[in-house]
Chain A
Amino acid sequence: MSVRGGALMLVTALAALLLLPFVAEKFYVQFATKVLVMAIFAASLNLLVGYTGLVSLGHAAFFGIAGYLLALVTPQYEAADLWSSLLLAVGAAALLALVVGALVVRTSGIYFIMATLAFAQMLYFLFHDTSLAGGSDGIYIYVRPQANIGGWRPFDLENFRHLYFVVLAMFVLVLGFLRALVDSPFGRVIAGIRVNEQRMRALGFATFRYKLVCFVIGGALAGLAGYLSAVQFGVVNPDMLGWHLSGSALMMVILGGMGTLPGPVLGAVTIMLLELGFQSLTKHWQLLMGAVIVLVALALPQGLAGLVALPGTARARDDG
């Protein structure tokens, strides 16, 4: 596809997203909000998996911890301040990613997968088994955070349309940031690490530090998604940290096409639609989801992006 074709598609998609809340019913707007949040989450994981070659199976830890932070700083029947709580939540996710990353980035390959999963599950059990934050029931957030700038409140998150636009803005910001990041010299180094880490080290790059920085950025962005999810649903529980969410995000990345920017977004949309469809069919929808996942792993190594050649798919890895 030509550059112009790609740009046209991007503008059309953005226009459709901007128009959506004016034409769609509440349910669909809320569903779209949820999809955008998951797309941010999947894109943050893709930075690790698709661009750096770090297959993390514990990414939900950073999503969940940020959600929990909002719940913990929100007073019972009052609103938290959006800016400070957002900063705190994303900061906490980044800090956690720094600590976990410093340990797990020392390993590679299959070890990395196991260690990330184990640390994430440790956090899951910490919240699930202790009375630290509501145990297995989690905590409700009765009032959504307020966005105050001085005395002015530019939007109200209790309004589903306002919430949608805020999430959309975050989504665009995150994708723009990731685009800039992967196109920067930093992005070239991590791409080099994915292809051949020894060579990059031989060239004099401190690969450990690059991978750690990547892990922290990925964790912080996952935290942003977790924060937005907690705002939308008004509740946090240990499942937000659980490995089903990590697995689901990995599925989005691979199904959509990893190592591409539109890939995880496409994956998030597809998975969420499938989930919605399967749930309406049967109580045992995970059976169908499992079958789809198995089929994708066996038959679709390049993901959907490999089928329809989206803009930027030239970056897709072909070393599988």
Chain B
Amino acid sequence: MDIVTFLIQLLNAVQYGLLLFLVAGGLTLIFGIMGVINLAHGSFYMIGAYLAWSLSEQLGSLWLAIVAGVALSVALGLLLEWLFFRHLYRRDHLYQVLLTYGLILIFEELRSILWGDDVHGVRVPEVLSGSIPLTDTLSYPVYRLWISAVCVGLAALLYFVIQRTRLGMMIRAGASNREMVQALGIDIGLLHRVVFALGVALAALAGMLAAPVSSVFPGMGNQVLIVCFVVVVIGGIGSIKGALLAALLIGLVDTFGKVVELEIAGFGVLPELAGMSVYLMMAAVLLWRPEGIFGRRLA
């Protein structure tokens, strides 16, 4: 692999990892603060992507579609929290799994009814449609660089909000001791709504950003969800730092696993098996630290 190809793959890996972080970060935040496992989190990613496609067709601009899409997904998040999730905070994980699994079936069918089962492409906005030449023959699309930049910006913003603001202080306190926060007169219900809507918006936004790159297709949410689970298991549940590290690690392993031709003991390994590399990594982490890299020790 020459240096330019390597650079391109590295950029791809980082871009994929950062996007994954947006989705997984929301998942781990919702669990860390509210104690809820949300299987439907991937559906929000899918909904974001379909909104980006459908709204940009209607409005004629991906920018407007993203603004409207984020607003819609926050509204959806608040509605779902009020309808379903607020009943789950003190329930066994089993019921959270069941309810959110039911929601997945509902979202998948609604998607099929509303938007059909075809695969759709989403056009990159004019401003970002070019590519940057790396050598005479190879160049890198501007849009992918832009996604990475936006994700880095959002990650920094998230870090700032959680570590440096009053809201972040409440969020951190709510994660470690719900009763205490309540006793101090903070509206824990409102805190939950904010965190949940934030998580939904992040996942949906990731879907919108990814739409022009990965296209829009049925089942895309579940695909992302499984990888997010791997991110959370590797990074440690509830840890934003862990989610970032694990997402970048998975970006690298997955991207390079597909490019580097493996040869073990003289036999070429099937390129399809590269997809398993992230799961092998998860297995290794579970052997080493069952609670994940930055996870709290399990009892």
The bracket for how many chain A residues form the interface is: 35 or more
B105 touches A290 (CB 8 A): yes
Nearest-Cβ distance from residue A300 to partner chain B, whole angstroms: 10
With contacts A108-B298, A118-B230, A119-B279 taken as known, whether A297 is within 8 angstroms of B95 at the C-beta atoms is yes
A129→B257 CA distance, assembly (Å): 15
Does B233 sit at the interface, judged by CB under 8 A? yes
A219→B33 CA distance, assembly (Å): 34
A211→B98 CA distance, assembly (Å): 23
A111→B272 CA distance, assembly (Å): 27
A130 touches B103 (CB 8 A): no
A106→B297 CA distance, assembly (Å): 12
Does B92 sit at the interface, judged by CB under 8 A? yes
Within 8 A of B (CB), among A90-132: 103-104, 106-111, 113-115, 117-119, 121-122, 125-126, 129-131
With contacts A104-B286, A129-B272, A298-B99 taken as known, whether A111 is within 8 angstroms of B109 at the C-beta atoms is no
B275 touches A125 (CB 8 A): yes
Within 8 A of A (CB), among B87-107: 87, 91-99, 101-106
From A28-36, A139-147, A246-254, the one touching the partner chain is A246-254
Bitwise, B284-299 to A at CB < 8 A (1) or not (0) is: 0011001110000011
Does B110 sit at the interface, judged by CB under 8 A? yes
Q: Which residues of B contact A293 (CB under 8 A)?
A: 98-99, 101-102, 105
Does B113 sit at the interface, judged by CB under 8 A? yes
A55 touches B94 (CB 8 A): yes
With contacts A103-B286, A111-B298, A118-B230 taken as known, whether A286 is within 8 angstroms of B105 at the C-beta atoms is yes
Does B190 sit at the interface, judged by CB under 8 A? no
A107→B298 CA distance, assembly (Å): 8
Interface centre among A114, A130, A254, A294 (most CB of B within 10 A): A114
Interface centre among B37, B102, B291 (most CB of A within 10 A): B102
Does A284 sit at the interface, judged by CB under 8 A? yes
Out of A109, A113, A290, which one reaches B106, CB within 8 Å?
A290
Q: Which residues of B contact A297 (CB under 8 A)?
A: 95-96, 98-99, 102
Does A72 sit at the interface, judged by CB under 8 A? no
The bracket for how many chain B residues form the interface is: 35 or more
Does A47 sit at the interface, judged by CB under 8 A? no
A301 touches B95 (CB 8 A): yes
Within 8 A of B (CB), among A236-282: 243, 247, 250-251, 254, 258
A301 touches B286 (CB 8 A): no
Who on chain B is nearest to A319 by CB? B92
Does A204 sit at the interface, judged by CB under 8 A? no
A212→B230 CA distance, assembly (Å): 22
Q: Which residues of B contact A296 (CB under 8 A)?
A: 98, 102
Q: Which residues of B contact A290 (CB under 8 A)?
A: 102-106, 109
A130 touches B282 (CB 8 A): no
Who on chain A is nearest to B289 by CB? A106
Q: Which residues of A contact B31 (CB under 8 A)?
A: 110
Does A49 sit at the interface, judged by CB under 8 A? yes
A247→B103 CA distance, assembly (Å): 12
Interface centre among B37, B84, B99, B109 (most CB of A within 10 A): B109
Out of A109, A119, A131, which one reaches B93, CB within 8 Å?
A109
Nearest-Cβ distance from residue B223 to partner chain A, whole angstroms: 9
Out of B91, B106, B286, which one reaches A115, CB within 8 Å?
B286
Bitwise, A285-320 to B at CB < 8 A (1) or not (0) is: 011011111101110010000000000000000011
Does B226 sit at the interface, judged by CB under 8 A? yes
Does B10 sit at the interface, judged by CB under 8 A? no
Does A198 sit at the interface, judged by CB under 8 A? yes
Who on chain B is nearest to A115 by CB? B233
A250→B99 CA distance, assembly (Å): 11
B276 touches A122 (CB 8 A): yes
With contacts A122-B276, A130-B273 taken as known, whether A198 is within 8 angstroms of B299 at the C-beta atoms is yes
B290 touches A106 (CB 8 A): yes
Nearest-Cβ distance from residue B118 to partner chain A, whole angstroms: 16
Who on chain A is nearest to B229 by CB? A114
Q: Which residues of B contact A49 (CB under 8 A)?
A: 94
B84 touches A298 (CB 8 A): yes
Does A193 sit at the interface, judged by CB under 8 A? no
A117 touches B94 (CB 8 A): no
Q: Which residues of B contact A118 (CB under 8 A)?
A: 226, 229-230, 233, 279, 282
Does A216 sit at the interface, judged by CB under 8 A? no
Who on chain B is nearest to A55 by CB? B94
Does A57 sit at the interface, judged by CB under 8 A? yes
Does B112 sit at the interface, judged by CB under 8 A? yes
Who on chain A is nearest to B292 by CB? A111
Nearest-Cβ distance from residue B266 to partner chain A, whole angstroms: 20
A284 touches B97 (CB 8 A): no
With contacts A125-B276, A130-B270, A130-B272 taken as known, whether A107 is within 8 angstroms of B99 at the C-beta atoms is no
Does B81 sit at the interface, judged by CB under 8 A? no
A109→B226 CA distance, assembly (Å): 17
Nearest-Cβ distance from residue A255 to partner chain B, whole angstroms: 9
A222→B113 CA distance, assembly (Å): 34
A-B contact sample (17 more), CB < 8 A, given A114-B233, A254-B95:
A107-B291, A109-B298, A111-B237, A111-B292, A113-B97, A118-B233, A119-B283, A129-B275, A198-B299, A243-B222, A287-B110, A290-B104, A293-B99, A297-B98, A301-B91, A301-B95, A319-B92
